[in-house]
Amino acid sequence: MKTIRLTMAQAVVRYLAAQRSEIDGKEVPLVAGTFAIFGHGNVAGMGEALAAATDVLPTYRAHNEQSMALAAIAYAKAKNRKQFMAATTSIGPGATNMVTAAALAHVDRLPVLLLPGDIFASRLPDPVLQQIEVYGDPTLSVNDTFKPVSRFWDRIMRPEQILQSLPQAIRVLTDPADCGPVTLCLPQDIQAEAYDYPVEFFEKRKHRLRRPAPDAREVADAAEALRNAKRPMVILGGGVHYSEAVAEARAFLSKHGLMAGESQAGKGALNWDDPHNLGSVGVTGSSAANTLASDADVVLAIGTRLQDFTTGSWALFKSKPKLIQLNVAAYDAWKHNALPLVGDARVTLPLLSAALGDWKVPADRAARGTAEIARWRGAVDAVTAAPKGNALPSDAQVLGAVNRKSAPTDVVVNASGGLPGEMHKLWKTRDPKGYHMEYGFSCMGYEIAGALGVKLAQPERRVLALIGDGGYMMMNSEIATSVMMGAKIDIVVLDNGGFGCINRLQQACGGRPFNNLLVDAHRKMDVPIDFAAHAAAMGAIAEKVGSIAELEAAMDKAKTSDRTHVIVIDTDPMISTQEGGAWWEVAVPEVSTRKEVEAARKSYEKQMAARAGE
Ligand SMILES: Cc1ncc(C[n+]2csc(CCOP(=O)(O)OP(=O)(O)O)c2C)c(N)n1
Ligand SMILES: [Mg+2]
């Protein structure tokens, strides 16, 4: 057997560079690059290997391990999981900084290869800098915290172990049902240790995301349930994008006259003005989707995890419909006692359609959907229109302006605060990948890091990040990275003086305004934060605007800027769109000295009783 003598780190890099994917018939690298922040845990081993391989596996330098991994994850989301990135860190804090990103990828079912450095396998120099020392278990390091948030986790204790582990890592990263973060912990001494690896291990390999066909009996059962439906509806989730089943979903709805609500991850599968698009569904849903959901007798959910924002904490479907779950993951297909239809959406939808024959939605149901859609679209236009007076604009008015000033193929990125709800309801999508929302983990700070990842994935598109002041303060340093890399993003910061949405939630739960807006926090001094100056200090072009008209002008200007452009606008912290929406279960205290809390508790108990059908 022909072998080649490499360090473990060199072998990891060589193997990753040999993995290929295919996009639109063209062969591309499966691993598009590596984000790296070096320390003693990875600079000598991984650092040496990466430096020698920049032509086949480019390395990017970021400013924070969490945000670099978030950028890597956003990259994979933008690529519909067909390409992904790796992220390597030192040991200790460098590694644990990345745990939040691992959890996000785990929730969102997105591939990312995490390569934290680890303590010495030999244990000879123990305890090393940043080693935690677990008294009763010397096998533990901080990297064990990745275990519950990794779909595959391993610690490489001998260089030859990667011969087994790397193929398993790639299996998980390219498996549509099992997809998620993979963590390979790389002890510093083993990274540097050499081994005679078989040359064939590094041969080029092409990977395709598998498209499992459904069981014919499950298709027949699902078709029968739909055929008997009087008031059906469809929910489109992120799986529609990841299986690249947008065209199939549109054809399915159109042939059978079905109408669909979109989850956050599913939004964009239909253009906003598609006659079959009921809009967003759930807690941040349109009145159209939620009205049809409330008396549906059969719900076909396609590629969705059905998290509580989509189901209104399971209170949305008041008539307790039969649920059909079309999902590539049996785990999801079995949720909530659903009729499972396990398979790839792109393969399964045409089969389900064929089984339905020329069945069409009852005419009265279709007419009702059409009327509800017209009503909802009127509401959207009203709340997103430019304001007349001089009052502080609402988030809805800001996103309306950004939407008007963006092109169909621009990508808007968001994750947290009050914006996801507003955007889910109100953003008019005109391209399947134009709406990039991270709402499985809703991680503050994803916006800027994520926008960088999207820009690396789709350099030909304009990428717009919308972010609250809270999200900005939590994580913004990749602005500097975007400037340095020439990966221009346009960022709109909505400054409402703090955690606006949690402040509103707090009061809805009977609480007094406390510790959310900066004015309600413990403070001795009033320190206004100059976001534009802050962004400019990192090399961005930055400006503050005073009105929606100025925002629109700045959006035009930003389009032609040669680098990352940040626009800051003050917004009203108390306004959110009241139209649409549904109950969301947030537990309210059973006893309190505040009568507002007691009232909120009563209403909470009423909602729980309603959900239980009492
Ligand atoms: C990392 C992280 N920490 C805490 C939260 C809980 N949380 C959700 S929204 C929010 C406030 C966000 O503030 P901002 O970005 O200013 O948006 P706004 O609510 O004002 O619209 C908080 C603290 C979160 N989602 N992510
Ligand atoms: Mg805010």
Query: Closest Cα partner for 128 from 47, 189, 193?
Result: 189
The mean per-residue pLDDT over the stretch 178-185 comes to 98
Banded model confidence at residue 614, pLDDT cuts 50, 70, 90: confident
CA distance 179 to 152: 10
Please say if the pLDDT value at position 442 is more than 90: yes
CA distance 568 to 605: 41
What local confidence, expressed as pLDDT, does residue 304 receive? 98
Q: What is the pLDDT of residues 329-354, one digit of tens each?
A: 999 999 999 999 999 999 999 999 99
Place of tokens 């809270």: 470
Question: How many Å lie between the centroid of ligand 1 and the Cα of residue 497?
Answer: 12
Residue minimizing CA distance to atom 5 of ligand 1: 444
The pLDDT mean for the chain works out to: 98
The mean per-residue pLDDT over the stretch 240-266 comes to 98
What local confidence, expressed as pLDDT, does residue 527 receive? 85
Q: What is the four-CA torsion angle of 350, 354, 356, 361, rounded to 10 degrees?
A: 60
29-48 CB burial, b ≥16 within 10 A, e <16? bbbbbbbbbbbebbbbbbbb
Report which ligand 1 atom has the smallest distance to the Cα of 469. 16
Please choose from 416, 419, 447, 493 the residue to mutate so as to test ligand 1's pocket, defined by most ligand atoms within 8 A of CB: 416
Q: Which residue has the higher pLDDT, 485 or 389?
A: 485
The mean per-residue pLDDT over the stretch 26-42 comes to 98
* Parallel, antiparallel or unpaired: strands 181-187 and 194-198: unpaired
Banded model confidence at residue 272, pLDDT cuts 50, 70, 90: very high
Task: Give Cα separations from 321 to 234, 238, 316, 463, 591 (angstroms).
Answer: 12, 22, 10, 39, 35
Q: Looking at residue 613, what DSSP letter applies?
A: T
Question: How many Å lie between the centroid of ligand 2 and the Cα of residue 173?
Answer: 35
Q: What is the pLDDT of residues 393-402, one digit of tens each?
A: 999 999 999 9
H/E run at residue 480: helix 478-485
What three-state secondary structure class fits 236? Answer: strand
Residues near 233 by Cβ (< 8 Å), separated by ≥ 6?
258, 259, 260, 261, 278, 289, 292, 293, 296, 298, 299, 300
Report which ligand 1 atom has the smallest distance to the Cα of 445. 1
The model's pTM is 0.98
The mean per-residue pLDDT over the stretch 544-564 comes to 97
Question: How many Å lie between the centroid of ligand 1 and the Cα of residue 362?
Answer: 43
Percent of the chain whose pLDDT exceeds 90 = 99
List phi, psi (to 5°) of 427. -70, 125
Q: Which residues lie with the beta carbon below 6 Å from any ligand 1 atom?
A: 416-419, 442-444, 468-471, 496, 499-502
CA distance 354 to 217: 14
H/E run at residue 218: helix 216-227
The mean per-residue pLDDT over the stretch 529-552 comes to 98
CA distance 402 to 436: 15
What three-state secondary structure class fits 558? Answer: helix
Question: How many Å lie between the centroid of ligand 1 and the Cα of residue 472?
Answer: 10
Question: How many Å lie between the centroid of ligand 2 and the Cα of residue 383?
Answer: 19
Banded model confidence at residue 358, pLDDT cuts 50, 70, 90: very high
Q: What is the pLDDT of residues 90-146, one digit of tens each?
A: 999 999 999 999 999 999 999 999 999 999 999 999 999 999 999 999 999 999 999
H/E run at residue 126: none
- Are 68 and 87 within 8 A, CB to CB? yes
Q: What is the four-CA torsion angle of 562, 26, 433, 179, rounded to 10 degrees?
A: -120
Banded model confidence at residue 390, pLDDT cuts 50, 70, 90: confident
What local confidence, expressed as pLDDT, does residue 389 receive? 87
**Per-residue H/E/C for 355-394:** HHCCCCCCHHHHHHHHHHHHHHHHHHHHHHCCCCCCCCCC
Please choose from 283, 439, 444, 574 the residue to mutate so as to test ligand 1's pocket, defined by most ligand atoms within 8 A of CB: 444
| Overall residue count recorded for the chain in this entry | 614
Q: What is the pLDDT of residues 206-227, one digit of tens each?
A: 999 999 999 999 999 999 999 9
Task: Give Cα separations from 289 to 232, 286, 292, 611 (angstroms).
Answer: 11, 5, 5, 18
Q: What is the largest CA-CA distance in the chain?
A: 78
Residue minimizing CA distance to atom 7 of ligand 1: 417
Q: What is the pLDDT of residues 527-537, one digit of tens each?
A: 899 999 999 99
Residue minimizing CA distance to atom 3 of ligand 1: 444
Q: What is the pLDDT of residues 478-518, one digit of tens each?
A: 999 999 999 999 999 999 999 999 999 999 999 999 999 99
